[in-house]
Structure formats: structure tokens, C-alpha cells
Structure 1
Amino acid sequence: MPDSPPSQPPGRAVRTDRTLGSRQLAAMLPDPTAARPAYRHLAQAISTLILDGRIALHVKLPAERELATALATSRATITAVYDLLRESGYAHSRQGSGTWTDLPTGRTPSGITRLLGHQDTAIDLARAAPGMAEQTLVDALAHVAPKVAEHAHLPGYHPYGLSELRAAIAERFTQRGLATMPDQILVTSGAQHALTLVLGLLCRQGDRVMVESPSYPNALEAMRRARLRTVSVPVTDTGWDIEIVESTLRQVVPQFAYLIPDFHNPTGCLMPEEERVRVLGAAQRSGTWLIIDETLADLALDVPVPPPFASHAARGGTAQVITIGSMSKTHWAGLRIGWLRAPSRLVTELAGQRVATDMGGSVLDQLLALDLLERAQEVRPHRLEQLRHQRAVLAAALAEHLPQWKWQLPPGGLSLWVDLGEPIASALAERALDYGVRIEGGGYFAADPGILEQRLRIPYTTTPDALREAVRRLATALADGRPFSSTTRQPHWIA
């Protein structure tokens, strides 16, 4: 019979079927010898991972002896780690049952904390999410007010999304080269909502999924919470190694693959057309669903907007492709409007999945989205020119203050993927907070633990003055004379 966690107070939900392996946990932790005392160093690292959500709540931690072996440290050290976690409320135990993760009373997971906003004045480079011009929003609100009144006498439940908005999104796909009907569109509360709906319908615990590394951290987190087994393929400054992608699809036969082919987050790479055709062919042969994230596709700064990935499938037949998108990167994340395009029967099943937790999005938000999409040709050129200018400002500031860092100028998207030349990204991010800059190291974009520590994602979504000042502060933080050590810090919400 499997171990069960200790008795819990009424109302606390406990999962009894989850165990964190010793090797898996050890791969997420820093070197025990990097700081003294080692037990405090490790306990802080584990509590941070729990707050961050990378270690789930109510998961059984490895036995002390097993974790000590995996970390090449003493059992006494691990005993002290677990004692400190229990004292601080991050774990609870019962004789013979093991040690289970917990959340201290009064503490809030860091993702929620960061979504609620910052209480300081640090320059925020952790989120690649541009704001919306105030006048654009004011004009849109004034224009849709009469339309909201027209809907007021109706119940307001639209599990598929407003019909007018579905039609407008379908027309956008058609104009970009992929004939689409409104019944192939499901309007969601952002692209992340679309992804979680797909995971809930198509995947079961333990299914294999192919992901890129690096990739969008919140998508990776959704897969971890669904208890899927990720298999990563690399994306470098030069893009995808399609032979690795093809061989992974052939050998692993994953249930689905999650890809960001358009101005990839965080590298900015754009997948060439011929490589898209090869990926589609390999996925078709393996029977793998492709989930294509196109949230950045419209942010083409130096090239034309790419046609939909699925348009290549339309030429060749039966590949299973689900396309997700949103207005968060092109307009405003506060709008919370996203969508997915899929076969109409699957859209119906996903709408049924949605009703169990969310009977439909805000009518007002959808009417605003419709108005903004209809006026996109007026608003988009200014937004793209603004991003080009901010990208140039960031590149110039880096060249002036941190010429030893290297990067490729992306043809679109919202950020630079910077190579620091040494694995100090997390430590530099920790120190940068002292200088008033919030940023995340490359490790938070990695599908596998312990890699990409030589990388920073630096968005160019804030003002030119803020970008210049942020780079100046980063250079000062890098040069302040203190040696970098392997530290673990509480990460921030990443968009």
C-alpha cells in the first residue's frame, strides 16, 4: 500500500499519489557546498521552488538517505534540511509516512504575488508584455458602449465566444493563407487558457510531450502541473535542429508537441517554411498533435507576417494541428482574450471541457477585442515602429555598456536572448534587484533543470529611457566587485 500523507485539517485538498524522485529534486537544487551552512542553503532553495510552483504542493519528498546520495552530501545535512522545512511550514511529516511539501500560513505562491503587481520602483524586465496606448483603449471603449447595451438583455453566456469575434478571428486566418470557418475557432481567456484546455482534453498523466528548450515558462509549468513527461529539443541562436525534432517525433512518439515557430519566445527565431513542412510530415507519421503558439506572429519587425503554420498542413493532408493565439503581446495582456483554431469537432469538445470551469468570457472584453481587431491596420504600424525603436535602443545600450555580451537581433518578437559568456545569469539577476532591475535568468526558460545559466532574456517592451537605465544598472551590478555564487532566489512572474 502506498504511503499516505499525515492527516490534514478539514478542507485542505491533498493528493496522495505524487512522489518527487531524488534525482529529479537534486537536479533542481544548487551545489550543497556553494554556501554555508549547507542545510540552510538547500532548505531555502526547496522553499523557493515550492513558492514558485516548480515543486507542487502535497508532493512526497525523497527519503533522506536517497536525497543525500543524489546530492553527494551527508544524511545529517538532509535531516537538518527537512527539519528546517517543517519548522518554517514548507513541509509536514508523520512517523513512517514520509515528508510532504506544504505552504506556510500567510504565504502566497510567487506567480500570484507577481500578478498582483510590484510594490517597489524597480525597472521590470521580467515580463515581455507591452502596454496599450491610453487613447486607443478610450476610443475602443466609447465605440463598443452601444454594442454592450445591445447584449444586456441576453444571458451573456458564450462558451464558444461571441459569434462576431469568432468570425473576425477566422477571417484573419483566411487572410493569412489558411481558410478557416468560425466553427473552427474557440475564444478563450488568453493563450494560456487555450493551452490548458487542450492539455485537459487530449492528455493523460504520464503522457510524453515534446517541447522546445528554451520555451515559454508558463506553458512548461502547465505541463508539469498536468504531470506530463516532457522531452525537449533545443532552439539555439540559429534556430531549430530539424533532424533532432524529426528523430524525437519518430522515436518518442509524443502525444503532442508544443512549438513557438514565429519569433520564438525567448530566442526570437523564425522557423523557415521548409522546416515547417518537415515538422508537419514527421508529426503526421508519428500521430502527434502539434500545438502551435502564434501569440507573437503579428510582431514581425523586419520580415512579412508569416503565414499560419497549419497552412502548410492544408496542402499535405491530415496533420493534427491546433493553433493558439492571443491579444496579450500585440495589444494588452489585461484584455485576456485568446483563441484556438482546431477541427470543428474538437472545438465542440473543448467548449464542453471549458464549461466545467468557465462558462464563457466577458462580453465586454470580447467586444473590445473585436473593435481592436477591426482597427488593427490603423494601430499596428505605430506599435511595430515603436518596438523597432525600442529594440534599437536596447541593442545600442548593450553595445555601449556591456560589449562582451552577445546576441542575435531577432526579426520580430519582444526580446533579446543574450549570451553572457559565463553561467552567472541567476546570480546576476539576484544582484540586479539591489540595483533596481528585475529580470530572470535563462534557467527559468529551460525545459530541463540546470541549463541556460549563461543566458538572459531582455525584453524591449518598456520606454527607451527605462531600457537605457536598466542596461546601465546591469553593467554596474556586473562590475561591483563581488564574486558571483550559486544562489537560489524567488523567481518572478514571467510573461
Structure 2
Amino acid sequence: MIRGRLAASTLGDLLGDWRRDGTGGLPAYEALAERIRLLLIDGRISADVRLPSERELSERLDLSRTTITAAYRQLRDSGYARAVQGSGTTTTLPLARPPATAPRSQVIDLTMAALPATSLLPAAAALATEELAAHYDTPGYQLIGVPALREAIAERYTARGLPTDPEQILVTSGAQGAITLLSRTFVTRGDRVFADSPSYPHAYDALASAGGRIVTSPVTPEDGWDTASLAATIGRTNPSLAYVMPDFHNPTARSMTLDDRHELLHAVAKVDTLLIADETTGELDIDRREHYGPLATLAGEHGARVVHIGSASKLLWGGLRIGWIRASADILGRVAAVRPAHDLGSPVWEQLVAAHLVRRSGEAIEERRSQLRERRGALADALARHLPDWEMPERLEGGLAAWVRLPAPVSSQVTLAARAHGIHLTAGPRFGIDGAYERRLRFPLTSPATLTQAVAILGELWPTVADTTPLRLTTSEPSV
């Protein structure tokens, strides 16, 4: 995510071939403003970023200053920029997105990969409400976590093959809270930090916000992890922290093989890098053949330091903003010391609900397996019918999304065209750095009816976008 002052050359690279974006022949200033809005909505540019001066951007894009001035005015009028005295034009984000301009009556939001609440939730909520009275004389939040939930999480790890005590668990405000706390605790400004590419965008954001300089190695739906590149990158850069999603990786849905896990652990142990294993989607198995359990079960063979994070949001319900960190006592002590500056603790009631649900994880997993299998089939059928040139991953064995390959590097163009017709997508480059993945779109495995409707609309739009395929493939997916 770009912060601070945005150079004209950087914005030009992010914009790509914006004049071929499938926006239906808009005037240049409107098309430019729309593309900058997409960069903001996707999170590739943050709020409070100073845009290049009109003169600098006109020279970079070979446009008149009148066009740039009109584009910036359009951004200000739509709430995506403001004029700051003495500082030019600065980006902003409206509190709510404007409605789609399409003649569709309902917006289809495909930006979030999340499932509806598990059917187990009502009973768990009722039990938690009964238990809440015992906590009325407390502040209502817990810095470390209520004992019942920490015990349930520890029991779950133990059942999965990793013996765990409740003292090794710290409850957080979702998995994002866990990533942020670990980043703030173990990353010093200027440190190199490792992450897969592509990866979970908000993990990139948390690492960068802590001051980390991100280095990456590739993961693909076809081949998984390039472990030679991974080991070489970690060995060469000596990162203070490494972030990976070893099971049902977001967005590729791949899982590390046993050899991959050994290579990763060996690489981080050699340079004493702290490894964060994000297992938020780790139990969303549809039909994977191999199961290896938590990474830390292998860590002793290499001497690696491994921290696990998990969440109730993906398996149980996104409305439960409950996550956790499993780590040694000394690591949790350092995290707990940093936490009050960012987050005073997690609500007791949500923790009580999560405690009941974590103890019924096995039932929830079976429920999700059936839902995800149906949704995977619906997406595959819809793509085959309406967009046969778009490639569904062959090995989609679990997780919440499909990393679909497009015939041309036009992910941002598709995203813009779709928004005009009521479909909100996240462009492929949001999942990488430096503008990569224009050949990819992430499709969350939402309801079959929604997927079928969305893909049918995209099928109608695709010929128009395909006709404007960029001639310069400067932001295509990197080869691996």
C-alpha cells in the first residue's frame, strides 16, 4: 500500500494502461479519476497520500494539465480527494462507497471471502448470554483472553497434534489484530520482512505499517511454493519476521507439501527469523488428500521459532471478531506489553461464544466442507458456461476463494467495468506488490446463486474489455 507522497512515476506505473480500461468511452479526465478511485478502493493507495502535482502528472502521462486538473476535481467532488492549502491534492476515502451506477438494482460484493454464520451459532450465543452475568463486575474485555476460550483453543491444537497449554494462547481482535500486534512487536522500522507473493493484502499492510520492507517469493495455484526461491530470499535478506499461510493459502488456495514445510522451517531457522504461520483458513478443507497438522509440529526438527495465529471469523462467523496467537510464554509476554497501545483487549461475550464454538469445530468443519464443495462447483460451472477462456485452478482443495487466471493482463480493467454494472471485485494487483497479477482475479466462494449471477454479468462485459486488451504487458503476472 502506497503511503506518504506519491511520485508521478509511481502513480503512472500503478495506473498501467488506464486509457484502455473498458469504461465505455469516458472522457480522459473521467477515466483517469475512475482508475485512481479503483486504486484507493483496492487499497493500493492509502488515504492521506499526497498526489503528484498537476504539472508532474501531466508530463508523466503526456496529458494536458487541464485534463489532470479536471480529474483531480472529479476525485474531490466524489469524496476521494481533498485540496490542502500548500500541499496540493490529498487522497481520502468516503465513509461509505457510492452506489453502483449500473442499471442493476443490487450490488454484488465479491471483495470479501467470508461464509455466513455457522448453524451452531444461535445455541452458542444463547449459552454465552447465560454465562455473561458472571462477568458483569469485570471491565468486559480481557487483555490476554478469558480462560474458557484459551482452554478451548489449546485443546483444539492438542487434538490436531500440537500439545498446547492455555498459557500459550493470547486472544486477539481477529486474525488481523494478531498480525498487527506481532508486526508491531517484532518489526523495527527498516527491517526486512518476508511474505509470499501473492498474499493476504492486509498482512502486507500490517507489515508495512510497522516499518517493514517486504521481500517475497512466489506461490502459484499450479505449482505451489517455489521453495528454492523462498530459501534463497530468506537466506539473502535475513528478515526479522516471515509471514506465511501454509494451508489453503489466500488467494491461491494451495497447501504446502511436507517437503515445502521442511524447506521453510530450515530456511527460517538458519537465520533465526520468527515465522508467523497464519492458519485462519487452515481447517477449511474440501477434499485435500494430505494433512500435516500445524507447522510447529515439525519445528523441533529444525530449531525454528514458530508462532501460530488463528481466527473464529472464517470457520465460524465473520461477526465474531476473535482471533488468537499460539506462542511461547516469552513471545506472548512481549506482545501483551505492546498491546495496550493499540488494543485494550477483546470483548468477553464474543469470547464466550467462541469458546463454545471452538469446542464444536469438528461439526463446523463438516458443515463448511459441504458448503464450499457446492460453491466451488457453482463457480466452475458458471465460468465454463459464460467465460470458458478464464481458467479455474485445477487444485482447489479448500479455502474460501479461487485465484482465476484471465486470458490477458486486464484485471483492473475488468474490475472497473464490473463496478459500473453493480459487481464489486478486488483487482489481482491488490494481492501483490509492484503492480503484479493483472492476469488474476480472486473469486470468493460465496453463494451459488450469487456466483452464477455475477459470472453471467461478467460474461456479458468480457467482449468489450477483451477488445481493449493492453498492447504493453507491463503489469502481467511474473513468471516463476
Q: Scaled by the length of structure 2, what TM-score is found?
A: 0.85
How far off its partner does 1:102 sit? Answer: 4.5
CA offset digits 1:417-436 (Å, max 9, x no partner): 11121122222222233444
Match of 1:386, SS state, is: helix
Matches within 5 A, 1:168-187: 168-187=152-171
Question: Equivalent of 1:195, from 179, 183, 208?
Answer: 179
5+ residue gaps, structure 1, are 1-16, 487-495
How far off its partner does 1:479 sit? Answer: 3.8
How far off its partner does 1:402 sit? Answer: 2.2
| Residue number in structure 2 paired with 1:424 | 410
| Residue number in structure 2 paired with 1:144 | 128
Distance (whole Å) between structure 2 residues aligned to residue 481 and residue 54 of structure 1: 22
| Residue number in structure 1 paired with 2:95 | 108
How far off its partner does 1:150 sit? Answer: 2.2
Does the 8 A contact of 1:53 with 1:109 survive in 2?
Answer: no
| Residue number in structure 2 paired with 1:411 | 397
Whether 1:55 and 2:45 are equivalent positions in the alignment is: yes
Matches within 5 A, 1:350-429: 350-407=335-392, 408-429=394-415
| Residue number in structure 2 paired with 1:307 | 293
Whether 1:438 and 2:424 are equivalent positions in the alignment is: yes
Match of 2:194, SS state, is: strand
Match of 1:333, SS state, is: coil
Q: Which moved more, 1:46-55 or 1:426-435?
A: 46-55
Matches within 5 A, 1:432-471: 432-449=418-435, 451-462=436-447, 464-471=448-455
Question: Equivalent of 1:211, from 188, 195, 203?
Answer: 195
How far off its partner does 1:32 sit? Answer: 6.6
Q: Which moved more, 1:244-253 or 1:58-67?
A: 58-67
Does the 8 A contact of 1:292 with 1:324 survive in 2?
Answer: yes
Whether 1:126 and 2:111 are equivalent positions in the alignment is: yes
Q: Which moved more, 1:286-295 or 1:400-409?
A: 400-409
Distance (whole Å) between structure 1 residues aligned to residue 418 and residue 41 of structure 2: 21
How far off its partner does 1:223 sit? Answer: 2.9
How far off its partner does 1:325 sit? Answer: 1.0
How far off its partner does 1:445 sit? Answer: 1.4
Distance (whole Å) between structure 1 residues aligned to residue 113 and residue 254 of structure 2: 16
Q: Which moved more, 1:57-66 or 1:266-275?
A: 57-66
Does the 8 A contact of 1:295 with 1:326 survive in 2?
Answer: yes
| Residue number in structure 1 paired with 2:229 | 244
Does the 8 A contact of 1:57 with 1:102 survive in 2?
Answer: yes
How far off its partner does 1:144 sit? Answer: 2.4
TM-aligned CA distance change 1:447 to 1:199, over 3 Å: same
| Residue number in structure 1 paired with 2:462 | 478
How far off its partner does 1:74 sit? Answer: 6.0
TM-aligned CA distance change 1:86 to 1:240, over 3 Å: closer
Distance (whole Å) between structure 1 residues aligned to residue 300 and residue 285 of structure 2: 23
Distance (whole Å) between structure 2 residues aligned to residue 476 and residue 87 of structure 1: 32
How far off its partner does 1:350 sit? Answer: 1.1
How far off its partner does 1:378 sit? Answer: 2.8
TM-aligned CA distance change 1:465 to 1:244, over 3 Å: same
Question: Equivalent of 2:243, from 236, 254, 258?
Answer: 258
Counterpart code for 2:113:
A
Distance (whole Å) between structure 1 residues aligned to residue 75 and residue 34 of structure 2: 12
Counterpart code for 1:108:
L
Match of 1:391, SS state, is: helix
How far off its partner does 1:292 sit? Answer: 1.4
How far off its partner does 1:48 sit? Answer: 4.8
How far off its partner does 1:236 sit? Answer: 1.1
Counterpart code for 2:95:
T
Does the 8 A contact of 1:264 with 1:270 survive in 2?
Answer: yes
How far off its partner does 1:94 sit? Answer: 5.4
Match of 1:335, SS state, is: coil
**May I ask how many residue pairs the two structures share in their alignment?**
455
How far off its partner does 1:444 sit? Answer: 1.9
Distance (whole Å) between structure 2 residues aligned to residue 260 and residue 437 of structure 1: 28
Distance (whole Å) between structure 1 residues aligned to residue 348 and residue 105 of structure 2: 34
TM-aligned CA distance change 1:145 to 1:307, over 3 Å: same
CA offset digits 1:41-92 (Å, max 9, x no partner): 44554455456543344444456666566x3636847974796489657254
| Residue number in structure 2 paired with 1:73 | 62
Distance (whole Å) between structure 2 residues aligned to residue 40 and residue 378 of structure 1: 51
Distance (whole Å) between structure 1 residues aligned to residue 8 and residue 421 of structure 2: 36
CA offset digits 1:250-279 (Å, max 9, x no partner): 112222121111111111101111111111
Identity of aligned residues (%): 39
Q: Which runs of 4+ in 1 moved over 6 A?
A: none
TM-aligned CA distance change 1:139 to 1:83, over 3 Å: closer
Does the 8 A contact of 2:413 with 2:465 survive in 1?
Answer: no
| Residue number in structure 2 paired with 1:294 | 279
CA offset digits 1:352-403 (Å, max 9, x no partner): 2222232221111111001011122233212212211221222122223322
CA offset digits 1:162-189 (Å, max 9, x no partner): 1121121122122212222222211011
5+ residue gaps, structure 2, are 471-480
Distance (whole Å) between structure 2 residues aligned to residue 77 and residue 223 of structure 1: 38
TM-aligned CA distance change 1:420 to 1:157, over 3 Å: closer
Distance (whole Å) between structure 2 residues aligned to residue 246 and residue 61 of structure 1: 37
Q: Scaled by the length of structure 1, what TM-score is found?
A: 0.82
